[in-house]
Structure 1
Amino acid sequence: MRITQFNLVKVVAMICIISCISDFIVLFLLGNCYPGYSQLKNTISSLGASVSPVSYVISLWWIFIGTVFVFFGIIIGKAFDINHKNVKIASLLIILYGLGEGIGSGLFKADRIEGGLTKPFIIHNILGGIGVIAALILPLIMRKLITKKTMFHFYLFSWVVFIIGIITMLLFAIRFSPNEHNFLVLYKGLWQRLFLLNLYTYFIVISIIMYNKEV
């Protein structure tokens, strides 16, 4: 049976929802396969470092997840008015997130060497940073796309997601502090996962809206 544009939007929306939920499950399961790894104290990136026993598996998973978000960013234009400026921006931001935090993290490992950082680690951080910035900006664009008049609760939700995103990102950024025993620095893994939970919840809500929208 021919796949219509309407069906394609629904399929991609469902895949995005499943992928967001699955990513948390995979991160938890693979983290438990890494002796000494703490879900609250260690960063997600360290799962993909060369010294990690799950490095190869998690890298492939991140590339898959990143690809899902790239397609999600492309298809969002089919769910809304593709000629609308804010749709194009939202699409680009989601694609950048998929390329940076997903595919980029999978291709470039966060490896450290004694006394410095490796080139892959630096590229990993740069691409991840681009992805995070894109994710932070997304709610500000989506609130213009789905306005206060058309969906008031989503408009408010976008602001909440943006604020929580800023707070959790700043908390995670404190990991660069020289005081490694500081509570905020120690629990960097927690802040990173809260940032991810906040973002994935937003992606899931957008996916539900796309699924229910008549194309």
Structure 2
Amino acid sequence: MELFVNGYIPPVNVDFRSHSGYYWNIMKTNNVKFIRLRRNITIDRLVEVTGIPKTTLHRIENDGSEKVLNKYRDVLATALNCAPTDLDATQMEEGIPVVGEVKFKSYVKMLPESKWKEVEHVKGLPETAQAVRIVGNHLAPAHGRNDILYFDSEPEANPSLFIEKQCLVQIPKGNLMIAWVTAGSKPDHYFLHQYGSTQVMTDQKIVKAHPILHVQRG
């Protein structure tokens, strides 16, 4: 199910919890691309930090050349902050699924489960953690391109734990957005300060609030 900012809005609440426990299939060749994407590292950045030509990295990631991988194994392991054996291990620990993207203002478009990709698990986050990715630089300076925002898929019911915090919130008409939440002028109403805009939604009711627990910069 997809949730769009413009167009059709499903007449149901978004329940992130139904998608917990997502697993990523290990690549058939090796795990270099898998680990790189988990670390939120572009291939150009990997070229920069390792000095390995991009064409060679493509051969390693896409063709699965064991000979070439072995030549650069230690360099890649250092750059990707993993054990050398992780680069072609048959099993990998579970990561955290990216379940949505922020492309238009601070609104979140949820992705169908078939489009989910995993990023690295962050120590201390709950097992029910999920994430959304910022696409573009339109939320600068708060967030930049490819930033990953982690949250608990279990909504926070206690207002004192999401007021004065950055949250992924769902409002009654169905839209999801990233906003800074402050107390409204009447009970159970809130001001939503949207990123990348001077717009403030005043005295707005919230269906669900998920405080942002960690931000991984792109």
TM-score of the alignment, normalized to the shorter chain, above 0.5:
no
TM-score by length of 1: 0.23
Where is the strand percentage greater, Structure 1 or Structure 2? 2
Using structure 2 for the length normalisation, give the TM-score.
0.23
Higher relative contact order (CA 8 A, sep 6+): 1
